[in-house]
Amino acid sequence: MTVITRFAPSPTGRLHVGNIRTALHNWMAARKGGGRFLLRIDDTDAERSREEYVEAIREDLAWLGLEPDGEERQSVRLAIYEDAFERLKAAGRVYPAYETAQELDLKRKIQLGRGLPPVYDRAALALTDEQRAAKEAEGVAPHWRFRLDHSAPIEWQDGVRGRQKFDPAQLSDPVVRRADGSWLYMLPSAVDDIEMGVTQVLRGEDHVSNTAVQIQMFAALHAAGMASPASAANMPHPAFAHEALLVGTEGKLSKRLGSLGCDALRERGVEPEAIVALLARLGTSLPVEPIADRAALIDTFDLATFGRAPARFDEADLERVNTAIIHQLPYAEVADRLPEGMGEAGWHAIRPNLETIAQAQDWWHLVTGPIEPCELSPEDRAFVGQAAAALEWGQDPWHALTAKLKQSTGRKGKPLFLPLRLALTGKGHGPDMGELLPLIGEAEARARLERAASA
C-alpha cells in the first residue's frame, strides 16, 4: 500500500510552529513510507481565506524543504462535495435543521444547567414535512447535520493514543453545511481523504472527537457509493494518529503563535534545518539534536516514540539547535548569503562565532576593516610595537608570531594573546586568530599593530 499523507491548512494566516510541526510529521511519514505528501488548501471559507496566505503557505513549505508531491484546493472541488451531499441526503444520513444560533445556545445552557452534556437533541428529526415547509415559507433556510448512527460505538486504533472508543449518542450530530450553502470542515475533509486516496492522517489531539464523527462519515460515504481508484483496497478510513499539542514554557502556546510564525522565525535568522530538527522530535522519546541530515531524521521517525503529554516548545531550545546547525553548515550552502569577498576560509574562521548567518557581516568586518582603535596600556603598546617588528609571513603567521614573542618577552596566556587580538581586531574575543590573521593579510596586520602601538 502506498502511503499518502496530507497537510490541510486554511489560508487565513501564516504558518506557525504548531502547524509546521503537523506538516513536517506528515511529510516525514510519507517519505519514510516511500509515498506521497499532499498539500490541500482548505479554502471553503471564502470570507476569511486570502490568496496572499495561499502563496505564503507554499513559500514557507518550500523554504522548510517540505514541498508537496501534489496540491488540491477545496474551492475548486465544490461539485464533488455537492455530489457527496446528495448521496448522503438520499441515504438519509444528512437532515435539515432550523434552529437559530440563539436557540441552540439556549438549549446548551439548559442542558448544562441540568448537569447534562450539551449534545444536540435532534429536535429537527421530529419535524413533519408540513412543519419544515412552514419554516421555509417563513424564510428560514435550514442548516444541515450529519445523522450519527447510535447503534454501535465508534472505535479505532490511534497511532499515538492507542485504542479509542466513543459513544456516538454522546456526540452532537455535526453541522456539515450552513444555511447559506457553504461548507464546514467535516464533510469536505472526509470526501477529500477518500477521493485523494489518503491512507494516513496525522494531526493534533484537538481533532480526536472530529475523527470519531468522520469515521462514521467515511462509512456512510462508502455505503453511498463514493470511492476512488486511488483509495487503498478494503480500507474503511485512513489510519489516524493524534499527536499532543505544543505548549510553551509557561503553559499554552496559542497566544504566542503570532510571534512564532514561519516568516517571523525566518526574519530572526532561524535556519529551516533548525526548525525541522527541533519539531521533528519534539514530543517524542527521541532526543532533540542539531541534525541537519533530513534522511537521518526520517529514518528515526516512528509514531511509537510519540508521547501523550503536551509537547513543550522552548525558544531557547530552538536558538541552541539553530546555533549548532549553523556551526555545521558547509560553505556551499551559505555562500549566497555571505558578505561580498568572504570565501570558504573566511566562513570556516567565522562560523564558530555565529548564532545567525546575518552576524557574518559584523565578524567579516574584522577582516575588511576599518576597525575601531582600542586603548592599550603603555606596556601593551610597547608589546604590540614589538609584534609589528617581529611579524613574518608564512604558512602560519599567527603561531609563528606568538611563539617568537613568547620567547622574547616571556609573556604567555592572556597577557600574550589579548593585546595582539585587541590591536588586530579591536575586540577581546572572536574567531580563532590562527585562521583570521591570514585573511587580514600581512600589510594590513602590520599597519594595525603599528597604529595600536602609537595610539
Binding region: 255
Joined together, the cell numbers standing for residue 422 give 585587541
Amino acid at 152: A
Cα separation, 164 vs 176, in Å, equals 23
* Residues with Cβ within 8 Å of residue 330, at least 6 apart in sequence: none
Binding residues for ATP are: 255
Joined together, the cell numbers standing for residue 144 give 444541515
CA-based nearest residue to 283, from 6, 18, 7 = 18
Which helix H or strand E contains 35, and what residues bound it?
Answer: none
Task: Give me the DSSP letters along 228-272.
Answer: -TTSPTT-SS-EEEEEPPEEETTEE-GGGGGGGBHHHHHHTT--H
Cα separation, 58 vs 65, in Å, equals 11
CB 119, CB 171: distance < 8 Å: yes
Helices 433-440 and 414-425, axial angle in degrees (round to 10): 30
Q: Work out the burial of residue 224: count CB atoms within 10 Å of its CB; fewer than 13 is exposed, 13-18 middle, 19 or more buried.
A: middle
Between β-strands 251-252 and 246-248, what pairing exists: parallel, antiparallel or unpaired? antiparallel
Q: Collapse the DSSP code of 204 into the 3-class scheme (helix H, G, I; strand E, B; otherwise coil) and give the result.
A: strand
